[in-house]
Structure 1
Amino acid sequence: MRRPVFSLLLLSSLTFFLGLGRQAISDSDEAFYAEAAREMVESGDWLTPHFNYQDRWQKPVLYYWLTAGTYLTAGTSESTARWWSALGGMALVLLTWAAARRMGRPEAAWLAGAIVATCYGCFAMARLALPDLPLAFLVTLTIWSAFEGRWLVAGAAAGLGLLMKGPVALALPALVLLPVWWREHRLRALPLRELALAGLVCALVGVPWYAAMTLEHGTAYLQSFFVADNLERFATDRFNDPRPIWFYLPIVLGGMLPWTMYMAILPWRSVRGVARRARALTPSEWRLLAWAGIPLLFFTLSIGKQPRYVLPVLPPLAVLVAGMIAARVHGPAHARISLRAATWATAALYAVLAILLLRAEPLFVSASPGLTRASIAIIAASALVLAALGLAAAWRWLPATLAACSAALLLSLQFGALAGVRPEPVEQMAAAVHRHRHSGESVGAYQVFVRNLIFYTRLPQANLYDEARALDFLRSPQRVLLVVRAADVPRLEAISGVATTRLAEVTYLDPANVRLRTLLAPIPDQDLDRVVLVTNR
């Protein structure tokens, strides 16, 4: 038991922790959590989170507390902002391994943990200061503990999940557990006393902070968080643009990369069995399918869809995929035909990615050219290794080789194309703000570096949500500093009637704007953003 645990700890340390602080805080929700925790330490207010020196009621407090505590002990940095996300990922790896062992899949347990450690969805989220991967761990722990009858652990995990992300930490386990217990005829046999104790533990852990916030801010907080930020986010397009019903299909497939090709093995046994008769599924297969499918259906029915919401789906999928791979590795020769096809398809995927990265190299202006080329070479070499493995039919080595190649792929991206040379553009812009700002002058960011600039300037920032606010900001009678895309400056000047003075400029590739066309036919002048610092005086 020690050997698989140690190897999974080593693997997840590499994929989740190595180079954790190499990238600057991104201009995404990550900046909310990194900066709010910093302001918590700065203000000493451990009850109400703040962002941009204003109350932030949108999310519960646990991730802020954990990150603020890390700031106090190890300093404020990108790595300390992300530490708890990476730790949540490592814990999820070990929990997936343990769950697979307990569900009667010991031969697949190590591979299931390795899939979680090396799939792109968990890798990417572990390297962002976001609560979603710790939440996935807590939701998984709640479900697995309830299946095992460890009610107090389930209650504590649910309570921590309530503090981590809100009611979704209670909804997802309930949606999974109740149908499974109903199918297994266990609903009437549930131990009510233990369930009540679990509920009490959950309430004792999760409710006091909400009560304190209500006492401090009144019912306006309850309306803002539970109604607006949860119910309306689920049922309306107030916070997110509506997305198609199939939105999560490519998200799940992409999140499982580079293991996605092996998911093609799954339907021929499980889905066909369901179509013929549901009883063909073993109890563990039914639990895993419900565990993955019901949350996916729940989020598919929501209006407000975000890619990271489906992270709790990945662990049960990893167990299913690992089980299918293990069954074919140890099964008869004819069963390995699909295994060889999936391995060669994965090798082709690596090769295509290497070619795309090579073509897109002119766009990686913030990366080291040497590291970028080395990462491309490693990905190409991994493709050759997998192709040779499929050709040699050395199936005994398949799980370890797949895990090693997956880790090599992710770390090559981390230290190559995705790794910027510090200081990164947002840090350069923050330094320019400090160089050119006179005492008391307002700073604003319009449609670029809106969230992460404040983490590096540590200055209050004007909220320029739309063009009208940006125009009013430029028309201010006082001297102000505005961070904006160079392409937007002529329009703002023409409408506002204000001639700006350019003080600084940076160029960067915004990952949010990368599309397949960007990699296939990169156009640096079109795909790279020029961001400028201007003043109205």
Structure 2
Amino acid sequence: MKQWIYEHRCGLTVAWLAAIILLPFLGIAPLTDPNEPVYGQTAKEMLLAGDWLSPRIYGQFWYDKPPLFYWMEMLSYSLFGISDWSSRLPSAVAAVATALFVYVQGKDLFNQAIAFMATLILLTSVGFMYVGKAAVTDMTLMLTLTVAMISLYQGKYYRAYAFCGLALLAKGPVGYAFPALIMLLYMAATRQWSLLRTMKIPQGLCIAFLVGLPWYVFMYQTHGDIFLQTFLGYHNLIRFIAPEHPGQNSIFFFIPVFIGAMVPWIPALAPAMRRLFKKRDPFNDTVLFCLIWAAFIFVFFSLSHTQLVTYIAPAFPPAAYIIAWYLYRCYLEKRPPLGAIAAAYILAVGLLLCNAIPLNKGAEFFAQPILIGSVLLSTALFLPAFLLYRQLWKQAFASAVVLMVVFSWAAFGFVMPRIAEHTTSYEAAYILHDVYDGRSDLYIEKFLRPGIAYYSNLHGIEWQKDDLPDFAALLTSPDKAYIVMTKTSFLKLNQTVPELRQYGMAADLPAQVILINHP
């Protein structure tokens, strides 16, 4: 037994570290508005309706995402009941599976040392921690694309095509398009066009279609053209070429997002890329493949006109491989990565300076999280960089890992629950049960509607800033009406909609208000 444990110590460490980072605190805070409750409410309504085919929300069919993550949530709900914990459990399980796959296959792509380092880098990156503990679809896409891409590179084509099909069920057409385009770019860069003759493309397409297409066929048979027009037309094509939130997209949007997501390891990425193109290395081909894989995802979503911070999550595993390879080479050559060390110092100071940024009124609650996060992350940058400069290689790596475990526990176990009243609609939903009469019209701002529905089972009438309720008409109506909105919207509308000042305040919460036209 002791011999077996010693021989598998790296794999056991990976599994243990994944468990202590990803599994604790899944249910300690309510689902964060608006994205987590969207998926939780959809899976809940599908399960209660006994319908495993058609996603639905607010009692209506909804064609936003394919069903893989919903199925995982529904299975979790069936086994453990409907809760915040069971909503997030599928992402955590997918994250653990991703980490284990990165380690096991990394030994084949590189060697055990690089595989071990890459997996620990992935697990202790801010972005991976966040996506791995959030009830959103992005971790299922990361898992399926990671398996597909590594399998394609390894020549394990049947497994690769099967996971392309699962990626199609996780996120849509990108499940097929991303692996195909990334492999084409890799073949063009390395002039390995002969791979096209060995990739078993006809058989592979059959496997991918067999896994991924039946749901789409059944949905089209059940719902007709509205499914294709909404899912493929709007949620995939239109959202790529036109912003869902005008004014909130930029080609540079993902630069700070990626830097923040890969803290504390990001300082080593640029030197790693420079080394790749300057020196020969036995692993150059594999590192180049990882670079093309990560860069394609980064560029694709940078060009998209609808952008969310989690979109580039599939780039995290290849980036971790690149950084691990570079640090391993520096260790073998006993040459401290001076550029990475300098960048770590600069980034650490920059994070501390974030505390000097003035916060808008209503956002002061972020002050303590920013302070705690910046101190912990700056320490996780500064201390390992200092130890690297002293050429204490193992101590530097271990200190970064340990500090990021501490950061994870502090962020998810301490900070998130304490800011929940500002980031979730949990309290508003439960207070609504006490103040709402159950019969009158209920108008809920779009941002809050998923959370209100998830926690109260009240769907209401959706409104948003460019489609406001007629506040003046509601005042003159003899019927009661209730309005739920964020505190930010309330303060802004108070300045432009004078009728709002005549409404009664049914509930005044830290981040939401509930108004009534006839108190």
Class of the TM-score when normalised by the shorter of the 2 chains: 0.7 to 0.9
> What is the letter of the counterpart of residue 444 of structure 1?
Y
For the pair 1:487 / 2:468, whether they are aligned, the reply is no
CA distance in 2: counterparts of 1:281 and 1:2, whole angstroms:
24
* 8 Å Cα contact 2:384-2:397 kept in structure 1: no
TM-score (norm 1): 0.84
3-state SS, counterpart of residue 470 of structure 2: helix
- Cα offsets for 1:104-139 (capped at 9, x unmatched): 243221111011111111111122211111101111
For the pair 1:393 / 2:397, whether they are aligned, the reply is no
* 8 Å Cα contact 2:63-2:227 kept in structure 1: yes
After superposition, where does 1:53-72 map in structure 2 within 5 Å?
53-72=59-78
> What is the letter of the counterpart of residue 309 of structure 1?
Y
1:315 equivalent among 314, 317, 320:
317
Alpha carbons of structure 1 residues 387 and 144: separation in structure 2 relative to 1, 3 Å = closer
CA shift for structure 1 position 499: 2.8
For the pair 1:330 / 2:335, whether they are aligned, the reply is no
CA shift for structure 1 position 507: 0.8
* 8 Å Cα contact 1:479-1:535 kept in structure 2: yes
3-state SS, counterpart of residue 216 of structure 1: helix
Alpha carbons of structure 1 residues 489 and 184: separation in structure 2 relative to 1, 3 Å = closer
* 8 Å Cα contact 1:175-1:295 kept in structure 2: no
After superposition, where does 1:270-281 map in structure 2 within 5 Å?
270-272=276-278
2:509 equivalent among 492, 501, 506:
506
- Cα offsets for 1:137-163 (capped at 9, x unmatched): 111111111111212211211111111
CA distance in 2: counterparts of 1:130 and 1:392, whole angstroms:
41
> What is the letter of the counterpart of residue 252 of structure 1?
F
CA distance in 2: counterparts of 1:419 and 1:254, whole angstroms:
22
Bigger mean CA offset, 143-152 vs 482-491: 482-491
Bigger mean CA offset, 304-313 vs 72-81: 304-313
The aligned counterpart of 1:127 is 133
CA distance in 1: counterparts of 2:364 and 2:496, whole angstroms:
29
CA shift for structure 1 position 452: 1.4
2:243 equivalent among 237, 250, 259:
237
CA distance in 1: counterparts of 2:187 and 2:282, whole angstroms:
18
CA distance in 2: counterparts of 1:463 and 1:320, whole angstroms:
45
> What is the letter of the counterpart of residue 118 of structure 2?
A
Alpha carbons of structure 1 residues 18 and 346: separation in structure 2 relative to 1, 3 Å = farther
Alpha carbons of structure 1 residues 29 and 104: separation in structure 2 relative to 1, 3 Å = same
> What is the letter of the counterpart of residue 235 of structure 2?
D
CA shift for structure 1 position 239: 5.8
TM-score (norm 2): 0.87
The aligned counterpart of 1:284 is 286
- Cα offsets for 1:62-108 (capped at 9, x unmatched): 11111011111101111111111112211221222234322224322
CA distance in 2: counterparts of 1:44 and 1:304, whole angstroms:
32
Alpha carbons of structure 1 residues 307 and 507: separation in structure 2 relative to 1, 3 Å = same
Identity of aligned residues (%): 22
The aligned counterpart of 2:437 is 438
The aligned counterpart of 2:514 is 533
* 8 Å Cα contact 2:348-2:377 kept in structure 1: no
The aligned counterpart of 1:460 is 459
CA distance in 1: counterparts of 2:127 and 2:23, whole angstroms:
15
For the pair 1:298 / 2:300, whether they are aligned, the reply is yes
1:404 equivalent among 396, 402, 405:
402
CA distance in 2: counterparts of 1:32 and 1:448, whole angstroms:
10
CA distance in 2: counterparts of 1:366 and 1:506, whole angstroms:
17
- Cα offsets for 1:191-239 (capped at 9, x unmatched): 5683222211211111111111111111121111112211111122356
3-state SS, counterpart of residue 268 of structure 2: helix
3-state SS, counterpart of residue 444 of structure 2: strand
2:146 equivalent among 140, 146, 155:
140
After superposition, where does 1:28-43 map in structure 2 within 5 Å?
28-43=34-49
* 8 Å Cα contact 2:446-2:462 kept in structure 1: no
CA shift for structure 1 position 491: 5.0
> What is the letter of the counterpart of residue 464 of structure 2?
Y
CA shift for structure 1 position 448: 5.0
Bigger mean CA offset, 22-31 vs 190-199: 190-199
CA shift for structure 1 position 380: 7.4
The aligned counterpart of 1:527 is none
- Which segments of 5 or more consecutive residues in structure 2 lack a partner in the other structure? 1-6
Alpha carbons of structure 1 residues 22 and 349: separation in structure 2 relative to 1, 3 Å = farther
* 8 Å Cα contact 2:341-2:385 kept in structure 1: no
* 8 Å Cα contact 2:276-2:288 kept in structure 1: no
3-state SS, counterpart of residue 503 of structure 1: strand
Bigger mean CA offset, 292-301 vs 390-399: 390-399
2:414 equivalent among 416, 425, 438:
416
Alpha carbons of structure 1 residues 507 and 287: separation in structure 2 relative to 1, 3 Å = same
The aligned counterpart of 1:181 is 187
Alpha carbons of structure 1 residues 392 and 183: separation in structure 2 relative to 1, 3 Å = closer
* 8 Å Cα contact 1:266-1:320 kept in structure 2: yes
Q: What count of residue pairs does the alignment treat as equivalent?
A: 505
CA shift for structure 1 position 443: 2.4
Cα RMSD between the aligned structures? 3.3
The aligned counterpart of 1:249 is 255
CA shift for structure 1 position 267: 3.7
* 8 Å Cα contact 1:82-1:128 kept in structure 2: yes
* 8 Å Cα contact 2:380-2:399 kept in structure 1: no
Bigger mean CA offset, 418-427 vs 156-165: 418-427
For the pair 1:266 / 2:310, whether they are aligned, the reply is no
